[in-house]
Amino acid sequence: MSIYIKNVLLDEKTTNILIHGNKIAGIGIDIEQPTGANVIDGQGKAAFPTFANSHGHAAMSLFRGFGDDHNLGDWLNQWIWPNERNLDPEIIYWGVRLACLEMIKSGTTAFADMYFFLPDAAKAVEESGIRAILSHSFVDLHNPDMAKSVRKEVEGMESIICDWNSSHERTKLSIAPHAIYTVSNETLKFFAEFCTRHNLIYHIHMSETLTEVENSLKENGCRPYELMERLGILEQTGSRFIGAHSLHLSPEEIGLIGKYHCNVAHNPNSNLKLASGHQFFYNELRDAGVNVALGTDGCSSSNNLDMIEAAKVMSLLQKGWRQDPLSMPAPETLKVATRNGFTAMGIDAGELSEGHLADLMLVDLNNIAFVPNNNSTSNLIYAAHGDCVDTVICNGNIVMQGRKVAEEENVIREAQRVVKKLITVRPA
C-alpha cells in the first residue's frame, strides 16, 4: 500500500511525499504519483514529523482535573491511591484509548508509558494504531519482603513480555522501577539486569524534586545519578535508559548522563504545576551528549497530552530562566519533541526523509495559528495548539484524516462510563 501526498509544504517549500509500506520512499517535486496509491491533497497543509511523548501515564487521563492544586502527599494519599485500587483491565483499556485519541488528535504517534495492566494497555495502543513502550511500574518501598514479591511478579511476567515483544511491531512491553526513593538498590539492579537481558527500555523517575536529591545525599551519601552509576545501572542500560524529569542535577551528574549516552525526558508542564522546579539544564545536557526528549507526564499533572503546548512551554522556560531569547529556538524545540523522543524509544522516526519510518502529520494552514504563514515551524511551536493537526500517519497507516479518528465517539462514551467505576472516593 502506498500513500502519495501531493503539493504539501515541507521546510517552507512545496513538494510531494511518497510512502511505501511503513517507510518514507521519497520526497521531491519530481516524485510522481504511482498508480493505485492513496492520494492525499497537500494543498493548504504543511508536513511535519509527528511527536514522541517520552514520559507519561496514559490511563491516568481518567484522573484529569481530579485533585488539582494539592500537595503531592495529600494528592496521592487522599485522591489517587484510594481510587487506583479500583483499576481493572477494562478501566485501563478505555483510559489508554482515551489518551491515544487525545495524542492522535494533537499529532503524537509514540509514547513511553509507566503504569499497570500491560497487555490491556498495549491492546488499546495497538487498536488505536500508534506506538508505545509500556512499562509496568513497580515499588518495593525498601522493604525486603516486598522486594521479594516484586522479583517474583517480574519473573512471572517474563514470558508475557517476551512473547508480546516478539509478535508486535508498534507496541513493546517492559518493566520500570518507579524511582530511587520507592525502590531499593537491589531491585533497581535486578530491573537493570532484566531489561538488559531482554534489550528493554529502563524507564524511571529521576531527580524530580530537591527533596529526592537531599534524601539521597542523606541515605546514600551521593546524588541520584551518582547512585545509579555506583550501582552500574547507567553503564549497563546506556541508551536504553530514560530518566524522566532529571531536573535537579549537578554538573558531575550531567557529565555522567552524557558519558553513558542515557536519555532524559523533560516534562515542563508537570514540573511547573507540581512546583518541582523550572531550571531544566537543556543546553548543558545537550552539550554533554545527552539525548533530551520531551514529555507531558500523566494527565494528573499536565492535564493534557498536547505536545505542541509542552514544546512551547519548554522553549519559553529556557529563554526565561536563562534570560536569553536566543536559547531553544523553534527548530531545535521541534527536534527535541519529535526526533529525540523517537531516538529515546529506539524507533527510527521523527525525521522526514527517505528511508525513515513513515510517522508524519499534516497541519492545516488555514488554522488561525498559521495565518499568515511567515514561518511554519515558528507557527507550530509558538502559535499553534494540537487542534491544528489535520492528518496523522503512523507506520505508513492513516490514523486521522480531516481530524476524524475511527471510533472517536465510542472511545469518549466508554471513557465517561468507566470513570464512574474508577473514581468512587472523593475527598471533601
Residues forming the site for Zn ion (CB under 5 A) = 297
The nearest distance, CB 220 to Zn ion, in angstroms, is 22
What value, to the nearest 5°, has the Cα angle with vertex 258 and ends 253 and 261? 130
Q: Which residue number, 297 or 309, has a Cβ lying nearer to Zn ion?
A: 297
Overall size of the chain counted in residues: 428
Q: Which residue number, 140 or 297, has a Cβ lying nearer to Zn ion?
A: 297
The nearest distance, CB 205 to Zn ion, in angstroms, is 6
Q: Which residue number, 16 or 108, has a Cβ lying nearer to Zn ion?
A: 108
Q: Which residue number, 47 or 125, has a Cβ lying nearer to Zn ion?
A: 125
Q: CB neighbours of 205 closer than 8 A, spacing ≥ 6?
A: 114, 178, 179, 244, 245
The nearest distance, CB 300 to Zn ion, in angstroms, is 9
Q: Which residue number, 228 or 384, has a Cβ lying nearer to Zn ion?
A: 228
Residue entry with cell 537481558: 197
DSSP string, 53-67: EEEE-GGGGGGTTSS
Q: Which residue number, 224 or 396, has a Cβ lying nearer to Zn ion?
A: 224
> How far apart, in whole angstroms, are the C-alpha atoms of residue 246 and residue 265?
7
Q: Which residue number, 229 or 297, has a Cβ lying nearer to Zn ion?
A: 297
| Cβ proximity of 27 and 16 under 8 Å | yes
Give the C-alpha distances (Å, rounded to integers) separating 355 from 9, 71, 193, 320, 358.
Answer: 20, 47, 33, 38, 9
Q: Which residue number, 264 or 365, has a Cβ lying nearer to Zn ion?
A: 264
**How many other C-beta atoms lie within 10 A of the C-beta of residue 285?**
22
DSSP string, 38-51: EEEE-TTEEEEEPE
The nearest distance, CB 344 to Zn ion, in angstroms, is 15
Residue entry with cell 492520494: 39
Cα 255 to the center of its chain, rounded Å? 24
The nearest distance, CB 245 to Zn ion, in angstroms, is 7
> How far apart, in whole angstroms, are the C-alpha atoms of residue 355 and residue 211?
45
> How far apart, in whole angstroms, are the C-alpha atoms of residue 63 and residue 95?
9
b/e 90-112 (16+ beta carbons within 10 angstroms → b): ebbbbbbbbbbbbbbbbbbbbbb
Q: Which residue number, 226 or 297, has a Cβ lying nearer to Zn ion?
A: 297
The nearest distance, CB 319 to Zn ion, in angstroms, is 25
Q: Which residue is nearest to Zn ion (CB)?
A: 297
Sign (positive/negative) of CA torsion 87, 194, 349, 373? positive
Q: Which residue number, 271 or 379, has a Cβ lying nearer to Zn ion?
A: 271
The nearest distance, CB 141 to Zn ion, in angstroms, is 18
Q: Which residue number, 79 or 370, has a Cβ lying nearer to Zn ion?
A: 79
The nearest distance, CB 270 to Zn ion, in angstroms, is 7
> How far apart, in whole angstroms, are the C-alpha atoms of residue 172 and residue 203?
13
> How far apart, in whole angstroms, are the C-alpha atoms of residue 101 and residue 128?
7
Q: For helices 118-128 and 144-167, give the axis angle rounded to 10 degrees.
A: 30
The nearest distance, CB 353 to Zn ion, in angstroms, is 32
The nearest distance, CB 57 to Zn ion, in angstroms, is 6
Ramachandran area for residue 324 (φ above 0: left; ψ -120 to 50: alpha; else beta): beta
DSSP 307: H
The nearest distance, CB 55 to Zn ion, in angstroms, is 6
